[in-house]
Amino acid sequence: MADAAETPGGEDYLAALAGLVSDVSDAARQVAAAQIAELRVLAAAGRLAEEQAAPRNAKVRLHDMALRSIAAEVGGVLRTTDRTVQRRIGEARTIIEGFPAAVVAWKSGRIVREHVRAIVDAGTTLPAEMWAEFEAIAIERCERETPNRVRGELEILAHRMHPRSFAERHEEAAAGRCVRLVPGRDGMSDLIATLPTVIAEGIHDRLTQQARAIVDTRDERAASSEVVASDARTTDQVRADVFADLLLAGTPALDDTRDTSAGPLGAIRARVQVLVPASTLTGSDDGPCDLSGRSPIDPTSARTLAGDTGVWERLFHDPTTGVSVSTDSYRVTSGMRRFLQARDQHCRFPGCRVPAIRCEVDHTHDHALGGRTELSNLAHLCQRHHSMKQFTAWRVRQLTGGVLEWTSPLGRTYREDAPTPAVAFTPAAPPVAGESAPF
């Protein structure tokens, strides 16, 4: 076989490939340098917050408020939320201050960013005084392998180096158990539970056994009657349905698809605000409905839930004109509060999406300083940003139309317009000349 360089165009091909590889290498070094520079800046922001509170014999709250304020300032420039920036500041300080040798190795090209992430993820399970020792061994191993191959090895190394027993660490980790909701696409979401492994395995096994029992029962009935089963759900789908049944209704339904009742949806007793277009309720439109402050939900679920006036707040509007159709609440609340929830929909700090039903109604001009309790001086703020308004140098004033103008400690201003109203009132069009007014 002829050498590649001897084939027609072979030398040109190799020269072009060498140029591409060189360009990729140069770009990778530039990206790494920029990422390291960003980490250093974010870490410096964290240290500034620490220094800001230190001279005052600061309590934890003062330091946290300083950090929130700085994170909000940086978030305004990066066009991201202050929560995200605060999390990134914490991560940056851990990497820059806790694992400096890994950063040097990354900058020199001996390892890449994913190596650093693997080193930090495994290393932070150890006491801080052991990080340097772990880091030195981990860098040497990372230089010989790709990140995906070395990650498991680093985790095992950290386990073996740890001075405390696994049982002790597990007990501590179990204190962090939680359930998280991650909105997804097309009206779906991920419900993630962080639990001790044995509990998680037990839950999954029980769901699997029940799902298989339902599928087997369905198949046996279909076989005995020689009728094709109407339930075509997969085991995964049945497992998910049983999971919802157990949590919402307390018992699994054998075949929810044959149930004429609301099924798991009928067991929902949460306080949720849903914006449902009138055309969706009538069935003429199958577009998504807005689960206020969270994510879209499918129209079938919205129609089912709209009938339960005991526990849901309903806001209906015509999607074409924006004219209000009706508004209702399951609780007796003031018209002022209902109007504000419909107007604000979520926390009114720039970038925040915490639903209004989980926020506090705040006096923009403090009531203690003479601010009146009226719609033009009220807006929803989540607890985090309500505290920032009280304890940091961030300031806000309310303009007409529910517009909030926030001013940062550096004097930057951020205009926060009220969201597209879920409830709108428009005057009726005057009758055309020569036509009688409608009755």
Residue with more model confidence, 213 or 55: 213
pLDDT on residue 100 = 97
Beta-carbon-side half-sphere exposure of residue 100 (alpha carbons within 13 Å): 2
The encoded tokens of residue 228 equal: 């094709």
Residue 109's alpha-carbon distances to 36, 103, 337, in angstroms, are: 12, 10, 57
- Is pLDDT at 294 greater than 90 in this prediction? no
The encoded tokens of residue 313 equal: 């707040």
Residue 200: helix, strand or coil by DSSP? helix
Q: Which residues pair with 143 in a beta bridge?
A: none
Mean pLDDT for the stretch of residues 20-38: 94
- Is pLDDT at 230 greater than 50 in this prediction? yes
- Is pLDDT at 419 greater than 90 in this prediction? no
Write the burial class of residue 387 (CB in 10 Å: 0-12 exposed, 13-18 middle, 19+ buried): middle
pLDDT on residue 439 = 39
CA–CA gap between residue 364 and residue 378 (Å, rounded):
6
The encoded tokens of residue 6 equal: 């001897």
266 within 8 A of 283, measured Cβ to Cβ: no
- Is pLDDT at 272 greater than 60 in this prediction? no
CA–CA gap between residue 59 and residue 73 (Å, rounded):
22
Q: Kindly report, residue by residue over 172-223, the tens digit of the pLDDT.
A: 888 899 999 888 888 889 999 998 877 888 888 888 888 888 887 777 777 7
Q: What is the CA radius of gyration of the chain?
A: 29
CA–CA gap between residue 267 and residue 44 (Å, rounded):
50
Q: How confident is the model at residue 322 (pLDDT cuts 50, 70, 90)?
A: very low
Residue with more model confidence, 73 or 374: 73
Q: Kindly report, residue by residue over 325-363, the tens digit of the pLDDT.
A: 334 433 324 667 877 888 889 999 999 988 888 888 898
CA–CA gap between residue 421 and residue 401 (Å, rounded):
11
- Is pLDDT at 438 greater than 90 in this prediction? no
pLDDT on residue 253 = 57
- Is pLDDT at 29 greater than 50 in this prediction? yes
pLDDT on residue 295 = 60
pTM of the shown model: 0.64
- Is pLDDT at 421 greater than 70 in this prediction? no
Residue with more model confidence, 141 or 320: 141
Q: Kindly report, residue by residue over 59-91, the tens digit of the pLDDT.
A: 657 778 989 999 999 999 999 999 999 999 999
Residue 1: helix, strand or coil by DSSP? coil
- Is pLDDT at 128 greater than 90 in this prediction? yes
Q: Kindly report, residue by residue over 142-181, the tens digit of the pLDDT.
A: 998 899 889 988 988 998 899 988 778 878 888 899 999 8
Strands 273-277 and 313-317: parallel
Report the sign of the C-alpha dihedral through residues 354, 355, 359, 365, in that order.
positive
The DSSP letter of residue 346 is: B
Region of residue 368 (left: phi > 0; alpha: psi -120 to 50; beta: else): alpha
Q: How confident is the model at residue 233 (pLDDT cuts 50, 70, 90)?
A: confident
Hey, what's the torsion of the CAs at 387, 393, 397, 403, to 10 degrees?
-70
The encoded tokens of residue 434 equal: 């020569």
Mean pLDDT for the stretch of residues 258-272: 45
CA–CA gap between residue 208 and residue 212 (Å, rounded):
6
151 within 8 A of 131, measured Cβ to Cβ: no
